[in-house]
């Protein structure tokens, strides 16, 4: 499994208000999926930002991860893409 690029697991757990470690693997997997959604919306890999990931990109990953954590049955996936496109409009590579 690849490492998170935008946020740490500890940052996500604070955002999610999760204290226990029992869901760490799940949260990490959901965050990676959220980063991949963000990359798809942006039209380029997150690594293109280098060390300076914009706050709105970091927040989008946190929001998508939270939605997926709270709605584990997957009903939010289509809506997540719409939300991410809205939040990241200014950063999208429209040529992709």
Residue 2 in domain: no
Residue 23 in domain: yes
The number of folded domains in the chain is 1
**Which residue is associated with the tokens 């996936």?**
77
What's the domain range around 32? 9-91
Structure tokens belonging to residue 2? 């690849």
Residue 96 in domain: no
Angle in degrees, 0-180, between the axes of helices 9-16 and 55-70, rounded to the nearest 10: 60
Percent of the chain at pLDDT exceeding 70: 92
DSSP label of 49: G
The whole-chain average pLDDT of the chain stands at 90
Report pTM. Answer: 0.88
């Amino acid at each position: 499994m690849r490492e998170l690029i935008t946020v740490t697991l500890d940052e996500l757990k604070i955002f999610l208000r999760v204290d226990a470690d029992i869901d760490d693997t799940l949260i990490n997997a959901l965050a990676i999926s959220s980063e991949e959604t963000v990359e798809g919306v942006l039209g380029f890999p997150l690594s293109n930002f280098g060390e300076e990931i914009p706050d709105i990109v970091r927040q989008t990953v946190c929001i998508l991860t939270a939605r997926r954590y709270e709605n584990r049955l997957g009903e939010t996936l289509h809506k997540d893409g719409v939300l991410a496109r809205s939040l990241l409009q200014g950063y999208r590579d429209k040529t992709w």
